[in-house]
Amino acid sequence: MVVSAFKRLFEVVSDPFDFAGQTVIVTGGSRGLGRAMAIGLAAQGANLIIASRNILACSKVVDEVLEIGSNAVALEFDAAEWSGMDDFVERAWREFGRIDVLINNAGLSQKPCTSIDLTEEAFDAVMAVNFKGAFRLSALVGSRMVRQGSGSIINISSLGSIRPAPSYIVYAAAKAALNAITTAHALEFAPQVRVNAIMPGAFETDMAAD
């Protein structure tokens, strides 16, 4: 039965990894895991919107995407700034006329420390980037995807969200909150929009090195 179900799926979708004609936003797309996802999607034909606070770094990734043969633009984006989200979404939609996939990848990790040593500033920054920004951007993009009739939102969470350690407790809490809104938004935006989370372990990136 399972084999026949997969056979029917592939009869409908000849290449499930073909992103030709689809537009993908990757927040935090200028480096690390975000850049890797952007390059991988570009290789499958996707149009990319590379978004982060560092517009110059985003532009370098755009150049890499263009060399592959896909289209891409760089847009400045601060996941901690709620007030700038509406303008960012408007600009993103104008670039390609639609958004098919949103990848909430922008992240900020706290420096390892005890709970008593964590500052309010660090607490607020980690929660804003990892949770508040993803919530607001998903709300704006997800509601447009519903009107569009289709879409997918992918939240990049962490294994730390279900296996928290004292040294990064606020980061783990922010990612656990991200897991919660993944479930809630999946219900809110269904059936037109799929919402899922990926919970990777550690990656050897520059953020991890810090």
Look up the domain containing 186 and give its range.
Answer: 111-200
- Residue 167: inside a domain: yes
- Residue 208: inside a domain: no
- Residue 104: inside a domain: no
Specify the CATH number for the domain of residue 162: 3.40.50.720
Determine the pLDDT at residue 17.
84
Q: Shortest CA distance to 156 belongs to which of 189, 127, 193, 196?
A: 196
DSSP string over 150-200: -EEEEEE--GGGTS--GGGHHHHHHHHHHHHHHHHHHHHHTTTEEEEEE--
Known catalytic membership, residue 168: no
- Residue 128: inside a domain: yes
The total number of structural domains in the chain stands at 1
- Residue 119: inside a domain: yes
Cα–Cα separations (whole angstroms), residue 194 to 52, 101, 105, 143, 145: 24, 9, 16, 12, 10
β-partners of residue 196 are 154
Determine the pLDDT at residue 12.
54
Determine the pLDDT at residue 11.
56
Residue type, 148: Q
Per-residue pLDDT of the chain (210 residues; tens, 9 = 90+): 455 554 555 555 567 789 999 999 999 999 999 999 999 999 999 999 999 999 999 999 999 999 999 999 999 999 999 999 999 999 999 999 999 999 999 999 878 899 999 999 999 999 999 999 999 999 999 999 999 999 999 999 999 999 998 989 999 999 999 999 999 999 999 999 999 999 998 777 666 665
- Residue 31: inside a domain: no
| Rounded-to-integer distance, Cα 28 and Cα 142, Å | 19
What would the two tokens of residue 146 be? Answer: 């519903």
Burial group, residue 164, by CB count within 10 angstroms (0-12, 13-18, 19+): middle
Question: Global pTM?
Answer: 0.89
Task: Reduce the DSSP state of residue 20 to 3 states and report it.
Answer: coil
Q: How many CB atoms lie within 10 A of CB 44?
A: 16
* Set 171, 175, 185, 189: catalytic member: 171
Determine the pLDDT at residue 6.
47
